[in-house]
Amino acid sequence: MKFVFLSLLLFSSFCHAQQTVGIKFEKKLDWKEIKQKAKKENKFIFLDAYTTWCGPCKYMAAKIFPQAQVGDFFNKNFISVSVQIDKTKKDNESIKSWYKDADMIAKTYKINAYPTYLFFNKNGDLVHSITGASSNANDFIAKAKEALNPKTQYSNLKSEYINGKRDSSFLLSLISATIAAGDDSLLHIYINNYFATQNDLLTPQNIKLIAQGTTKSSDIGFNILLKYPKEVEAIIGKEERFRILNIIAFDEEIFPIIMINGKKTVYGGGLSIYGGGEMNKNVNWSAIKTKLNLKYNDLAEQIIFNGKLKYYDWLEDWVNFNNLLLNYTSEGNNVDTALINNMAGKLLQDCKDKKYFQSAINWASILVENKEHPYYLQTYSLLLYKAGENDLAIRYMKEYASLLKNAESINETIKKMKKGEEIE
């Protein structure tokens, strides 16, 4: 059993096609030939690892790679290749010819977030990596320059760390490179080492690092997050502080109990997978709450609420799932509508039984009251449609469409609703 949590940013569509300006990607060479060419021309290799479903990948290919200044820099310093990691029925022969190499590259270099950019020296050794899109050309070029400089190459920085280098300025450089590489498995280790060099952990810079690198209650930053809410929230906000502590509490206090022999695997790009174990059907929530109260004080109630939601979702126990949310919204105080929208989305994604949607529209009705996020109307409309309330569903979907500049896709959904067709 596996449960995947992944947040993706979607952009307009674009295919990785031949460009007349910008970065010139090799189209006719395989991976072996790319490395041979790099060695012959004494250049580094820039490898763009993308997937067809990755919005930020499309943004980079459409908006950043074609720019003249980007092309000038990359074409001078790199042999560049763009590699599609996933497989689709629409793949052409060129992409298919890379299937074997793409699989090898993804496995060898543990690519699990997109876009990922790999930089190899002329001998074909990986020296640097970047995970995630850049908002502009200058930022992307600046990041790529670090791949050419031995003092900022991630591989060199890691080697220096292994050899015992621990001064604060070096550790900050290592942390920066680790964040850019999306290497979440090592980040908290480096940050904890950096904190050992600091006298004051409540500076804005250190609080930001605490937020980035605190993943366990044994991390140095954990007690800062827990005991200094005012100082921490002034820098990262109340929601972010709770998000970090909630994940730690779930991983350490709730997950080991609700899933016997379960495991959590953390990947780059915000992806975590929980699974591999057996769901516990007899959870003592009172005992969990007692432990949480002792450790997390006023945050315990919200932590256990979120834990129960995951538990009932994973069990597909939609009766308790709906009841929990109905009780929550009935209280009427400080209801988190973003959470309600997300839970409605979970139900739409995972539940197939119409009767549970009928119950869900009661707790999700609060979504239509939130005028700051019009797309909540779409979520509620889809719940109504699943519940068989077609006329009301169409009404709210039309209201949502009226708020959009381009409602073409929503109007198509409305047509399907009128015909009683299935909505994905």
- What pLDDT is stored for residue 21 in this prediction? 80
Please name the residue ranges forming H helices in 78-195.
93-97, 99-108, 137-148, 154-162, 168-181, 184-195
Domains of the chain: 2-149 (3.40.30.10), 316-424 (1.25.40)
- Torsion, Cα 287 290 295 298, to 10 degrees, reads 130
Q: Is the pLDDT reported for residue 146 higher than 50? A: yes
Which are the contacts of 110, defined by CB distance < 8 A and separation ≥ 6? none
- What pLDDT is stored for residue 333 in this prediction? 64
> Within a 10 A sphere around the Cβ of 282, how many other Cβ atoms?
4
What is the distance between the alpha carbons of residues 289 and 301, in angstroms, rounded to a whole number?
Answer: 8
- What pLDDT is stored for residue 371 in this prediction? 79
Whole-number average pLDDT of the chain = 91
- What pLDDT is stored for residue 5 in this prediction? 42
Return the amino acid letter for 255.
F
Q: What is the mean pLDDT of residues 171-196?
A: 92
> Within a 10 A sphere around the Cβ of 97, how many other Cβ atoms?
13
pLDDT in tens, 230-256: 999 999 999 999 999 999 999 999 999
Q: Is the pLDDT reported for residue 17 higher than 80? A: no
Tokens of 94: 């060129």
Tokens of 188: 């908290």
Q: What is the mean pLDDT of residues 359-383?
A: 92
Of 292 and 271, the structure prediction assigns the larger pLDDT to 292
pLDDT in tens, 63-108: 999 999 999 999 999 999 999 999 999 999 999 999 999 999 999 9
**DSSP of 126-144:** EEEEEES--SSHHHHHHHH
What is the distance between the alpha carbons of residues 260 and 266, in angstroms, rounded to a whole number?
Answer: 19
Q: Is the pLDDT reported for residue 373 higher than 80? A: yes
Vertex 393: Cα angle to 336 and 355 (nearest 5): 75
Secondary structure element (H or E) that encloses residue 166, with its range: none
Q: Is the pLDDT reported for residue 299 higher than 70? A: yes
- What pLDDT is stored for residue 9 in this prediction? 37
Please state which of the ranges 119-133, 142-156, 158-172, 361-375 shows the lowest mean pLDDT.
Answer: 361-375
What is the distance between the alpha carbons of residues 268 and 2, in angstroms, rounded to a whole number?
Answer: 17
Reported as a pLDDT band with limits 50, 70 and 90, residue 269 is low
25 forms bridges with which residues in the sheet? 80
- What pLDDT is stored for residue 12 in this prediction? 38
- Relative to beta strand 44-50, strand 78-84 is parallel
What is the distance between the alpha carbons of residues 5 and 267, in angstroms, rounded to a whole number?
Answer: 11
Q: In Å, how far from its chain's centre is CA 285? A: 29
Residue with the two structure tokens 């009661």: 362
